[in-house]
């Protein structure tokens, strides 16, 4: 078991990335926003940074059997396993509920760039100030 307060964030993230890459389950001790501590075994597939600057792990939770988000700073300890993933991750969908089909590497790159760099809503010319 690794206690996250006794190691650097870099080491914790490296272990989580390694488990994503190898598709190995991770058991975490997690404290939610209400202060309730639970032990869960998760199957992580993504690490992201929120708008507030917190790092979240997106994973399938074996306790709930569905997709969940866990903040890295709320994980007090974790254990990586050699057990592989057993849960099916839900397919990505659009807000309208349609399944996203990606057929090429270029489409994957375009989706990632769009997710990271494009505004969440359409910006009109009246809302922008052009530099002279």
Please provide residue 25's backbone torsions phi and psi, each rounded to the nearest 5 degrees: -70, 155
Predicted confidence (pLDDT) at residue 3 exceeds the cutoff of 50: yes
Nearest CA-CA partner of 15 in 24, 32, 5, 53: 24
Please report the domains of the chain, with CATH numbers, ordered by start residue. 2-84 (2.30.30)
CA neighbours within 13 Å on the CB side: how many for 10? 0
Mean pLDDT of the chain: 81
pLDDT per residue over 64-101, tens digit each? 888 899 999 999 999 999 888 887 776 655 555 566 66
Predicted confidence (pLDDT) at residue 24 exceeds the cutoff of 70: yes
* pTM of the full structure: 0.65
CA distance 94 to 81: 33
CA distance 42 to 35: 19
Q: What percent of the chain has pLDDT over 90?
A: 37
């Amino acid at each position: 078991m690794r206690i996250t307060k006794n190691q650097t964030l870099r080491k914790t993230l490296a272990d989580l990335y390694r488990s994503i890459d190898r598709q190995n389950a991770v058991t975490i001790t997690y404290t939610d926003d209400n202060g309730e501590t639970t032990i869960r075994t998760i199957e992580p597939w993504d690490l992201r940074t929120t708008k507030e600057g917190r790092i979240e792990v997106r994973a399938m939770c074996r306790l709930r059997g569905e997709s969940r988000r866990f903040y890295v700073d709320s994980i007090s300890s974790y254990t990586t396993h050699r057990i592989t993933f057993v849960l099916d991750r839900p397919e990505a969908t659009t807000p309208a509920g349609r399944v996203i089909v990606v057929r090429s590497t270029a489409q994957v790159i375009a989706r990632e760039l769009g997710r990271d760099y494009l505004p969440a809503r359409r910006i009109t010319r009246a809302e922008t100030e052009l530099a002279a």
